[in-house]
């Protein structure tokens, strides 16, 4: 039984996949409460599915890009569970999983972008052709996506509400643990270790030493 997690945005999601299909999913919107929300959702998901933690055989977690605090919560939780249960732990970039899910739903065809609101007047994005990432991940000003030679490509993501004057035709979508599980099982996403994908410096940095 595969457990999938994604905490790259304020939408925390967990899902179970039995190798054939998704058998359960829990999603909750949070604001800086990723840690307590994630553990509760995992407990609820396993309880509803009548699955014991010992029955889990693999874990996959979204590696971002995303919010630094939320992303770390998901990665640390996934690693800790895998270590305690002695099972493999993999990572898939969140944008890659969203691309797989969009193609599975039939939202897009061959050439498109996936973009997430990165705040600070930026978006995280990557470009895909026939399901393969050909550019990104990057963090850029939202206008950048419309001023490129490929600026008219379809965009999948959660950026329309943040920049309605720029992105008025975005296919609304959010990261999903179910999509993460589907990408892993189908072999459609690039599988890595459970390591964060950071494409810019964090909002908070360590103070520099004072020179006297």
| Equal fold, 2-93+175-192 vs 95-172 | yes
Q: Which residues of the chain have pLDDT under 50?
A: 204-208, 210-212
pLDDT of residue 200: 78
Residue 186 · residue 179 · CB < 8 Å: no
Q: What CATH number has the domain spanning 95-172?
A: 3.30.420.40
What percentage of the chain exceeds 90 in pLDDT? 75
Q: What is the per-residue pLDDT for 114?
A: 97
pLDDT at 205: 47
Domain assignments of the chain as residue spans, ordered by start:
2-93+175-192, 95-172
In whole angstroms, give the CA distance from residue 70 to residue 159. Answer: 18
pLDDT of residue 207: 46
SS3 176: coil
Q: What is the pLDDT of residues 104-126, one digit of tens each?
A: 999 998 999 999 999 889 999 99
> Residue 202 and residue 204: Cα distance in Å, rounded?
5
| Torsion of Cα atoms, 161 then 164 then 169 then 170, to 10° | -40
User: What is the pTM for the complete model shown?
Assistant: 0.90
CATH class in words for 2-93+175-192: alpha beta
pLDDT at 132: 93
């Amino acid at each position: 039984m595969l457990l999938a997690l994604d905490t790259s945005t304020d939408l925390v999601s967990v899902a179970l996949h039995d190798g054939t299909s998704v058998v359960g999913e829990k999603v909750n919107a949070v604001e800086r409460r990723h840690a307590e929300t994630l553990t509760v959702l995992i407990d609820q998901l396993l309880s509803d599915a009548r699955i014991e933690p010992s029955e889990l055989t693999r874990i996959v977690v979204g590696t971002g890009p995303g919010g630094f605090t939320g992303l770390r919560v998901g990665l640390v939780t996934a690693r800790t569970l895998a270590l305690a249960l002695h099972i493999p732990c993999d990572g898939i970039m969140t944008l890659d999983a969203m691309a797989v899910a969009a193609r599975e739903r039939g939202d897009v065809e061959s050439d498109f972008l996936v973009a997430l609101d990165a705040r600070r007047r930026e978006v995280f994005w990557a470009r895909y052709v026939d399901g393969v990432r050909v550019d990104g991940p990057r963090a850029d000003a939202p206008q950048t996506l419309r001023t490129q030679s490929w600026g008219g490509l379809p965009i999948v993501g959660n950026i329309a509400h943040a920049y309605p004057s720029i992105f008025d035709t975005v296919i609304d979508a959010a990261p999903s643990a179910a999509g993460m599980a589907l990408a892993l099982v189908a072999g459609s996403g690039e599988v890595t270790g459970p390591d964060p994908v950071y494409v810019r410096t964090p909002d908070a940095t360590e103070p520099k030493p004072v020179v006297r």
